Structure 1
Amino acid sequence: MPPRINIPPVTRILLIVLALQSVLSAAIRYRQWTAHSEIVIPYLNLIPQLSLVYPWTFVSTTLVESNIFTLSIACVTLYNGGRYLERAWSSREFAKFLLVSALIPNVLTFATMIVFFAFIRNERWTLTTIAGTIPLQISFLVAFSQLVPAHTVTLFRGLLSLRVPRFPLLYIGVVTFLCLTPILTSASFFLAVFGFLTSWTYLRFYKPVFPDLDTSQPSSLRGDASETFAFAEFFPGPVRPFVAGVSNQIFDALVAVRICTPFSAADHYTARGDGFGQRSAPGSARAEAERRRALALKALDQRLHAATAQSAQRSSGAGPSAAPSNPAPSASGPTVQTQPQIGGQKAMTSQPSGMLGETNYTPDGDGDKA
Structure 2
Amino acid sequence: MPPRINIPPVTRIILVVLLLQSVLSAAVRYRQWSAHSEIVVEWLTLIPQLSVFYPWTFLTATLVENNIFTLAIAGLTLYHGGKYLERAWSSREFAKFLLVASLIPNTLTFLVLVTLFTITRNEAWTLTTVAGTIPLQISFLVAFSQLVPAHTVTLFRGLLSLRVPRFPLLYICLVTVLSLTPLLTSASLLLAIFGLLASWTYLRFYKTVFPDLDSSQPASLRGDASETFAFAEFFPGPLKPFVAAITDQIFNILVAMRICTPFSQADISAASGGSFTQRAPHGGVRAEAERRRALALKVLDQRLHAATAGSSSGSRNQSQPPTEPSGPTVQTQPQPNAQAAMTSQPTAVLGETSYNPDQDHNERGDS
If the TM-score is normalised by the length of the shorter chain, which range does it land in? 0.7 to 0.9
| TM-score normalised over the length of structure 2 | 0.79
2:358 matched to which residue of 1? 349
Code of the aligned partner of 2:46: L
State the Cα distance separating 1:280 from its structure 2 match: 5.0
1:143 matched to which residue of 2? 143
Q: Is 1:104 matched up with 2:104?
A: yes
Task: Check the 8 A contact 1:43/1:54 in 2, yes or no.
Answer: yes
Structural RMSD (CA): 3.4
Q: Is 1:175 matched up with 2:170?
A: no
Structure 1 residue runs of 5 or longer lacking an equivalent are 270-277, 317-330, 351-358
Range that drifts further, 203-212 or 102-111: 203-212
Task: Check the 8 A contact 2:204/2:229 in 1, yes or no.
Answer: yes
Residue 161 of structure 1 aligns to a residue whose secondary structure is: strand
Code of the aligned partner of 1:48: P
Code of the aligned partner of 1:93: E
Structure 2 residue runs of 5 or longer lacking an equivalent are 280-287, 318-342
Q: 1:284 to 1:266 in 2, by over 3 A?
A: closer
Alignment coverage as a number of residue pairs: 329
2:277 matched to which residue of 1? 285
1:19 matched to which residue of 2? 19
Aligned-partner Cα distance in 1 for 2:271–2:154: 32
State the Cα distance separating 1:267 from its structure 2 match: 2.8
Code of the aligned partner of 1:179: S
Q: Is 1:194 matched up with 2:186?
A: no
Code of the aligned partner of 1:7: I
Code of the aligned partner of 2:155: L
1:261 matched to which residue of 2? 261
Aligned-partner Cα distance in 2 for 1:198–1:341: 40
State the Cα distance separating 1:216 from its structure 2 match: 1.9
State the Cα distance separating 1:110 from its structure 2 match: 0.5
Residue 202 of structure 1 aligns to a residue whose secondary structure is: helix
Code of the aligned partner of 2:15: L
Code of the aligned partner of 1:51: S
1:117 matched to which residue of 2? 117
1:356 matched to which residue of 2? none
Residue 153 of structure 1 aligns to a residue whose secondary structure is: strand
2:67 matched to which residue of 1? 67
Code of the aligned partner of 1:78: L
Task: Check the 8 A contact 2:204/2:224 in 1, yes or no.
Answer: yes
2:8 matched to which residue of 1? 8
CA deviations 1:140-169 (Å, max 9, x no partner) are 111111111111111122222111111111
State the Cα distance separating 1:217 from its structure 2 match: 2.4
CA deviations 1:309-347 (Å, max 9, x no partner) are 9xx99xx9xxxxxxxxxxxxxx8x99xxxx9688xxx8x
Range that drifts further, 71-80 or 280-289: 280-289
Task: Check the 8 A contact 1:153/1:162 in 2, yes or no.
Answer: yes
1:360 matched to which residue of 2? 361
Aligned-partner Cα distance in 2 for 1:283–1:197: 26
Code of the aligned partner of 1:360: H
State the Cα distance separating 1:213 from its structure 2 match: 2.2
Q: 1:286 to 1:197 in 2, by over 3 A?
A: closer
Q: 1:246 to 1:201 in 2, by over 3 A?
A: same
1:83 matched to which residue of 2? 83
Which of 1 and 2 has greater Rg? 2
Task: Check the 8 A contact 1:232/1:240 in 2, yes or no.
Answer: yes
2:95 matched to which residue of 1? 95
Where in structure 1 do 4 or more consecutive aligned residues deviate above 3 Å?
278-284, 286-291, 339-342
Query: Share of identical aligned residues, percent?
Result: 68
State the Cα distance separating 1:27 from its structure 2 match: 0.3
Task: Check the 8 A contact 1:224/1:284 in 2, yes or no.
Answer: no
Matches within 5 A, 1:198-213: 198-213=198-213
CA deviations 1:8-65 (Å, max 9, x no partner) are 1101001100000000000000000000111111110011111121111100000000
Q: Taking CA–CA contacts closer than 8 Å with sequence separation of 6 or more, which of the two structures ends up with the larger relative contact order?
A: 2
State the Cα distance separating 1:137 from its structure 2 match: 0.4
Q: 1:51 to 1:27 in 2, by over 3 A?
A: same
